[in-house]
Structure 1
Amino acid sequence: MDDLEGAHMTLLAIWHRKDQGLIFAAADSRLTNSDGSILTNHAPKFTSCRVSCFAIGAKKHTRVFDTNIAIGYAGSSSVAFATIATLQAYTSVLALKEHGQIPRIADIGELARRILESNFKDFGAIWDIKSVCDMVVLGKMPHDRNVQVAHLQCTVKDGVAAVKLNMLSIIDQDICAAFGSGSSYFFEQLEIDKVGGGRFEPINLINRIIRNDERKDIGGDLQLVTAGKNGVEFPFIVKDRAKFGKNAMDVSFLGRRSDVLGLVGDCTIGLVARR
């Protein structure tokens, strides 16, 4: 880890809620420069990724599978955004071999690993400021037993860049995982809460860290994705603003107030809201 000292990668946490049958992933929306200064408090850390498989015919191609999974990151936004854009394009046009099997999350994670490693090496000039990143790919494909989480970890050791793929046993081992420069602090605070007899509520903890401005590398707004057997969702985050009136509230979506950008024709943005 010595090669990564000084990196400011904020926080991304993932855990399983047995009572809801869902995997939750949460992050803040702050991006910081390598010197710790704030770049923005409105950065999206999650997005969807469409996976479409086609049977190739002589005259036309037939879509035989279509779903959405989720991608998240903590760390270098330039490397992460380039990887996400490429992965989204590639997985939307998968040609399925005759009698072939639809990819698993592990297969998509391996594709993401190869793209990320290539981008990481291409962005070699940023190694000097230790701009590494962690990425996650989560969802359930037809041949996955349950929701899967693929974790991609960038490392630079002795001037050599590499990306490692780990499949996280979030459900089977019932663990909570966290990445980024704020992860150690996050786990320390969870343990303090546990010792004090508190409930396991990572969302409340991340909200508290953001609200109280406890760390320079964690801030902005909470953003959230859930993944279950029926797919992935990106909920609105509803925050009460009692000092402005009984029914006053803020509603944010992926790190930005949802009313800022307005309507899309006759449509609003988003489907699900959580407090």
Structure 2
Amino acid sequence: MDLPPSRAVPQNLFIGIAGWQDPALLPLLASQNFNGVLAFLARAFNLIEISSSFYQPLDLKTAQQWLDLTKDNLRLRFTVRLWQKLVREHSANFKTDVHQFKAGLEPFVQSRRLGALIAPFSPAFRQSRANQDWILGLADAFAGYPFVIELHHHSWQEAGAQQDLLNSGASIAHVDQPRFGRSFIFNQKAPSRLAYLRFDGRNQATWLEANASRDQRHDYIYSAADLATIAANIKTLLGQTSACYAVFNNYTNGQALANALQLQAALTGAGINAPAALRHRFPFLEERI
């Protein structure tokens, strides 16, 4: 096998998946536990998004353990989703909550392996002066951290709304998911300091289905044609921003892992090093894009 693919990725490009504690990944990677999954991801990629931080601040001991398990790839960056208490609630103890969340980030900061913080606002979060101030207040509280805003409501398309946020020094995520009549689409003509691309899948049929499970909503495999377009877009963004992060979250049945490997191969020309079970589940991994 050639050098691990993550070593062949350009210095300002980071590719990976969201989370690793998905039971579907265990048999695909012939792993007995999630530490084994994390170790594989650290060999294969240079980016992992931590999703569990949305539900509670990171534990220092656990964070250090993750860093130790991945120490053989010091190019690996962790991006961290912000605590829901900060992006979905008006906390009465805002300063205390920010301090608590920052404490869990410290191992990543000290090791220089923190890629970015992601502030994921809900689809119902509309553009308003109050909500804009909320975002700007968060950006100020996390000044000094690479800060990415994830928006979904179409009202943020209004003239000037995105630029005001960008002027704070924050970046705005490009979220790839099913497009409906009034979905939010980031204005690429006003590029962020860093580009953060998150691929949730394009399962139009289930995305707004009230009874659909999360797994059903994210059940989508990006085709070779999809990925060729994405790769071309990334090449453009690399010339406009200081860094580009591409994270796959179409996690159902391990699909995010397969698509991330494909995209990385398309952008680097390196081969795909995948266990037999993963190749059996996704035979298209043998093909070039």
Structure number with higher relative contact order (C-alpha < 8 Å, ≥ 6 residues apart) = 1
- Structure-2-length-normalised TM-score: 0.29
Task: Looking at secondary structure, tell me which structure has more strand per residue.
Answer: 1
- Structure-1-length-normalised TM-score: 0.30
Task: Looking at secondary structure, tell me which structure has more helix per residue.
Answer: 2
